[in-house]
Amino acid sequence: MNEVIKPWRRVGDFHGRATRKEYWSAMIQLTLIFVLFVVFFVAADETLPSPVVMFVMGMLMLVFLVVAAVVGTSVGIRRIHDFDVTGWLVLTFYIPYLGWIAMIIIGCIPGTPSQNRWGADPRGGPALQQVFS
């Protein structure tokens, strides 16, 4: 449950590291919320084809897209930091068509197993390995 809430607690936190689990949790949540918005948007358009309803739905979608951009960028930067690369690589997310590929690749690369320049290993790293060895 912590991995579900963690990306939302760290909204706007562009420092530190994020595990693959935290990254994928955020990306899946954002995708599901977007799909729900689209479904509600289409349903509202078919049941109440009013310009006022469409305007309100459009504004809600715009607010969601801004929040999603901040959440996705912050978790993406922390994920990139996990494998010891500069967070500016997150700009590849915003390249049309190639951004999805970049998101998948960044979500699959394993992090450095010990401390790097952006902080300690979020999975516990060597300290955890010493406990179980």
pTM of the shown model? 0.80
CA distance 17 to 77: 8
How many whole angstroms from its chain centre is CA 25?
7
Query: What is the pLDDT tens value at each position of the chain, 133 positions in all?
Result: 577 787 788 887 788 888 888 899 999 999 999 999 999 888 888 887 788 888 988 899 999 999 999 999 999 999 999 888 888 989 999 999 999 999 999 999 888 887 887 777 777 755 444 444 4
How many whole angstroms from its chain centre is CA 69?
8
Domain that holds residue 11: 2-132
Indicate the number of domains in the chain.
1
